[in-house]
Every structure is written in structure tokens, then in C-alpha cells.
Chain A
Amino acid sequence: MSGAPAIRVEHRFSVSPERVFDAWLDPVWIGRFIFGAHLRDEQVVSLENDPRVGGAFHYKVTRGGIEIDHTGTYREIERPRRLVFTWGVDAEQGDLSVVTISFAPDGDGCLLTLTHKLHPDWAEYAERTQAGWTKIVGDLAGAL
């Protein structure tokens, strides 16, 4: 139960790990499945990335007239097995959370597992404070 509050989602795809992996680093594909007016009430301003370890991405959209820059830095790029990047909204929160995606071969397809963890400061904070607060984190961990 230790560790930062995190979510974990899985999805099986009927195509190769390479095809699923490549979608995550290609701005054209980012505009197909992560951001866009066809997904929610938003307009894409620009989708830019520098897909190398240490490189950054900026995915800018407007929602209700407000521009939001989803930004982060690539930490690990191991095609087609593993991708790790930080994720936040606007520059100062860019390292607030970390997304880790694994791509495992599964028959003729691929099993994707995505975890998204808040900054470890949150975990340390939650573990050391009162039971009610710790319970919330426990509920979150239990939901994984």
C-alpha cells in the first residue's frame, strides 16, 4: 500500500506492440486518441513533442476559452516495450506526476498497462498524516 496515489488501467489491442507504441510518440496519433474536438469539448492549439529521453512535449488545447498546456518530459523510451514520461498541466506542474506504459505481446495483439502516479511527496504526506487521510489513499490503492 505504500507509494504515491496512482491509477492503473489496462487495455488489450488486436495489433502489434510496435503499432500501439508508435501512436504514443506521433503527434498525428496524439490528435487522434488523446486530444481533439471529437473526444471532448476542446480545440487543439498545437501538439508538439521531442521524442527522446530528456525531450519535452507540449499538447495545447483550449477548453471554454482557456488554453491548457499538457506538458512533460520523456524519461524512458524503449520501443516497443516501455514508455515513461512526466505529465502535468502548465510548466510548473510538468513533473507533478509520472505516466508509465508497458506494452506486452499478447497472442496476435498487445496488452497495454498504464499507471499514472502522483508525485511521491503526496505519498509521504498522506502516509504520515491522520488515519482518515491515509484511508483515502488506501481506498485508491485498493481500487487498483
Chain B
Amino acid sequence: MLALADPTRRAILQRLGSGEARVTELAAPFAMSLNAVSKHIRVLERAELVSRRRAGREHFLSLNPKPLDEAAAWIDEQRRFWTQSLDALERALAEHED
């Protein structure tokens, strides 16, 4: 989640939303060195938000949809958790007529 906290990284993800891109293409809109952009890309790769494909000497980057599946899993888990808690609260209120 911390990978999303940075505006440059969110802009990179936004660009990759319209298709895969070379590192140089990703770096072009930013007023920063290729090396600095590469560091942001590595953060996104470590967070498994972005994957890398090598074709000869070229490196292509693309979005990895897996983390959003994890967001969907989070939603399911939280819904179950709170539904279960509210059912338990009703039982506890019935048992403890304070």
C-alpha cells in the first residue's frame, strides 16, 4: 500500500493503465533522471503492482492486476468480519442485560 503513497508512482501506474511501456517512455514526462524513475519502478515491482518483460535489450513494464484481487479479498474478509461481530454483539447484548 505504501507503494501507492507517492504521486510519481501513481502517475507511472496511470500511464501503464493504457498499455505496457519501456522505462524510457515512462521516464519521459517526469523532470527527473532515468535512475530516479527506475527506483520508483522497483518499488512498484517489489509491491507486485508492476511486472517486467525482457525482449532482447529492451525492458517492458506492465500493470499486474493481482494486488486488486487482494483488495477484493480484503473487502470480502472485512465484510465477513464485521457481519460476524454484529451478530455476536446481538448475542452478547441478550446475554448481558446490564
Interface residues of A (CB under 8 A from B): 5, 7, 9, 11, 13, 15, 19-20, 23, 29, 32-34, 39-40, 92-93, 96-97, 112, 114, 116, 118-119, 121-122, 124-126, 128-130, 132-133, 136-137, 140
Give Cα A21 to B38, complex, Å.
49
Cβ-defined contact, B63 with A126, below 8 A: no
Known: A13-B89, A19-B93, A96-B1. A7 touches B79 (CB 8 A): yes
CB distance from B31 to the nearest CB of A (A): 20
Find out whether the CB atom of B93 lies under 8 angstroms from the CB atom of A11.
no
Given contacts A11-B86, A122-B4, A136-B68, contact A32 B17 (CB under 8 A): no
Q: Which of B40-98 contact A (CB under 8 A)?
A: 63, 65, 68-69, 71-72, 74-75, 78-79, 82-93, 96, 98
Q: In whole angstroms, how far apart are the Cα atoms of A125 and B1 in the complex?
A: 11
Please measure, in the bound complex, the distance between the C-alpha atom of A79 and the C-alpha atom of B90, giving whole angstroms. 19
A-B contact count (CB 8 A): 93
Q: Which residues of B contact A118 (CB under 8 A)?
A: 71, 74
Q: Which 4 A-B pairs have the closest CB atoms?
A: A129-B17, A33-B88, A33-B89, A11-B86
* A36 vs B71: C-alpha distance when bound (angstroms): 25
Write out the residue numbers on chain A whose beta carbons fall within 8 Å of the beta carbon of B69.
136
Q: Which residues of A contact B16 (CB under 8 A)?
A: 129
Chain B contributes a number of interface residues (CB within 8 A of A) equal to: 34
**Pair B75/A140 contact, Cβ less than 8 Å:** yes
Q: Are A130 and B84 in contact (CB under 8 A)?
A: no
Assess the A20–B14 pair: CB atoms within 8 A: no
**Cβ A11 vs Cβ B68 within 8 A:** no
The yes or no answer to B18 lying at the interface (CB within 8 A) is: yes
Q: Which residue of B is nearest A121, CB measured?
A: B4
Using Cβ atoms and an 8 Å threshold, which residues of chain B touch A112?
Answer: 86
B1-37 vs A: 1/0 string, CB under 8 Å? 1101100001001101110000000000000000000
Q: Are B83 and A23 in contact (CB under 8 A)?
A: no
The chain B residue sitting closest to A132, CB to CB, is: B65
